Structure 1
């Protein structure tokens, strides 16, 4: 993700920052500008309105999302004229468990933080509207639900444009238990949301985007019985050679899951590359004349860097990331080794996104 200078004092601040630690400014992320702004209360008889510190004449005014101070931890802003009390990202959540339980409220806040990060990446890819009146049907909706005694367990999934997430996934212990039980090397809230967003965008970018034939040639025929495929996967596990063509073992279950896992991996990739680029990271990468030094490319730059550049920089960047983690006694942050077959599918996702964002 991008890092920002405080727009008032220039100190380094971050996407989810609420206040600048140097100058004390209230910070808010403005989706329309995709920027973090230092704000101050607007003068005059304008309760709850904010403006940029030292604003230019006629500068825009804002309101802060209601979920900023009610435990949601949201730092997004709305235009002053918006008819809504919640920001564009928070409005995507249309079902919540009862938040009278402090633990559920804490879980909800963690999920919303991951949702905002997904919102950011999708917006950077041109797949998420950022205007306050953006078409709500063009982006995912979310149902955050909790298990109830005597009721079936809430399963994370996507259906009809809605991503359902069991809020228990925000519990670190429970998520670790499920990761071990399902033999998954990587399981995070953000990873879940990225995966499920892949199902949402498959319908819009592949099915409705005229790419079904190309998809089937690479991922397989999604018309296979989905329930039967999942049952077989959980009963028999992945084939022994799954790494030759897939980013994860679960991706072998069905072409839809293969796409969603690859999609999530692509979002991991571009987000991490942008973060490294924001810190002006330079890497030693293999080149035609041996090992060369180059700065990590920003995948959201215009024009976008070639996919081959992203691939070339990805391996040394993830080796650096894992080495830093090991230096702190932590497990690898990136426990994957991608094959040529997996990279071919990632290229398909990249090309699909580029086609959608340029149309």
Structure 2
């Protein structure tokens, strides 16, 4: 399947929904991806995961850092190419294909830039099925695949190559280097053979992004409920429709962190008629009844990582990233199930609420939805 401008628009929209508030700026990513395919050495192809040859060397292409930084310090196609080509030198071979490490915002489009310049395909897969804030939060880490080597590049031409012993060390080193690079950098990690990516990656996630993006676009064209169109694809629930009445956001340590409080619209009959507080670290991680972290407990939990939480514009269904959340926005808060790999004991250990310091246990969104529906 040849990637077109319309597919790029749909990927950007759908992947930003799945990106749960993170994954980079979809607007700049869209512009760069369209220019890249217009100037490509040949049409850029999106290929299914199962078509990857076992002996191919494949490498994901992505950006690392705080989304708020990337708004002011725009990424460049060149720095991503630098990181990718240094990886080829490290691997001493030509890389056969690339793919996004996560489905989210701009990071879903970064591989298109690389593929367009290198004349290689983009694989229809990723390693999260959503976006997560840290490098080890990938299915490859769950499956014990090595992260090394890692290559990072900034817009000035600086390049750093790492040989971390695992994904956890990769995150610690890469995050510190990214801060020195200005808070945002290009990165390639987890190089592997085709047989390994087919075993460990989550397939058809870019296709799912296209499906979601198309559904939002068509719902708006037909005057339908775009949020419901998203829910019809991803499952899950609309937790609340409301107005953002408070937001706290900080940039530091290579992340954007904070919380947002949503007051329900009086005319709705959604699951929650109380204020809802949503916490984030690049991505939306936890939603609960109440207006502060002091209100977090197992009884008032509405959704939590690793399940997906998205904030959509109430009128258009367009996803809003955590760096773009503003006081007064009318929004829909939705939550829906993650891939089953994240619901394993190791998955919960790596990306569950406890990892991020929340003193609550993980409960699947399906069970939370039934619980709170029974309270109404």
Larger radius of gyration between Structure 1 and Structure 2: 1
TM above 0.5, yes or no, is no
Q: Name the structure where helix makes up a greater proportion of residues.
A: 1
Bigger fraction of residues in strand = 2
The TM-score normalised by the length of structure 2 is 0.25
